[in-house]
Amino acid sequence: TQSLEQDLMFLGKLHPHTLVTLLNIAHIYHQVGNFTDAYKRFKEVHASMVIMYGTDSLESASAMFNMGLMKYQLKQNDEALDFYQQALRIQRDFYGNDENQTVASSLNSIGLVLFNKGAHTLAKDCFYESLRIRKKLFGSDHREVAVLWYNLATFHLETGDAELGIRYYEETLRIEREVLGTEHPDVTLTLQHLGLACQQQGKLEKALVYFEEAHTLEKGKNEKNGEAISKLLNLMGNIHLQRGHTGKMM
């Protein structure tokens, strides 16, 4: 904030250095979970972007997207949706088509908000369209594609198609292993989600395999996460309880 005060004093609020400082402060607030103050800073950035580049510029759309993200984090879904949709309109007008990463990101974010609002059909359409664009841009084995498989897996599990949800989590896991390696926390998290999904479907042996693999990965890390290991042990114990193996459960 001291740097921002200096920038405002000597450079003015419309100078590029001032905007960079504002953005850095906004991202720091976001990282520490202070979404209200982050939103206020992104709003300041947007106001400056409109003056400097115009209402329908990509710079303005980027700031608007970030404002939508903060509203999403604050669970203010209606406002988040409005910001995301405005950003998407600008992006589509600028590029003239949907074959762009920023469009794909906006569609994914809109899908998440719509899902929260219970508009499941529209949410699914957004997720699949974002997936189509990302696969076209990056190929099938990219981390950005894995994000969409993950969101679609969660969507289908929550809307009653558990088999499809499990299949999509498995595709997420395949890409994450290939791209991120087994040490990455996303791999352990996806294994855990797969275990829970299989457990809900009564596939206890398969669930146990996923939980055990996640547990092995957590134990093998240089910086062990005691809370994560404890949680996985509890999940494994619950499976053994369901299978009637009380000795292993204990």
Label residue 221 by pLDDT band (50, 70, 90).
Answer: confident
Per-residue pLDDT at 114: 98
- Residue pLDDT, tens place only, 89-112: 999 999 999 999 999 999 999 999
Spatial distance between the Cα atoms of 193 and 210, rounded to a whole number of angstroms: 9
- Helix 143-158 vs helix 120-138: crossing angle, to nearest 10: 160
- Residue pLDDT, tens place only, 113-141: 999 999 999 999 999 999 999 999 999 99
The residue-averaged pLDDT of 228-242 equals 92
CA proximity to 210, closest of 246, 176, 173, 247: 173
Spatial distance between the Cα atoms of 68 and 85, rounded to a whole number of angstroms: 9
The residue-averaged pLDDT of 58-73 equals 97
- Residue pLDDT, tens place only, 2-55: 555 565 555 556 667 778 888 889 999 999 999 999 999 999 999 999 999 999
pTM for the full model?
0.87
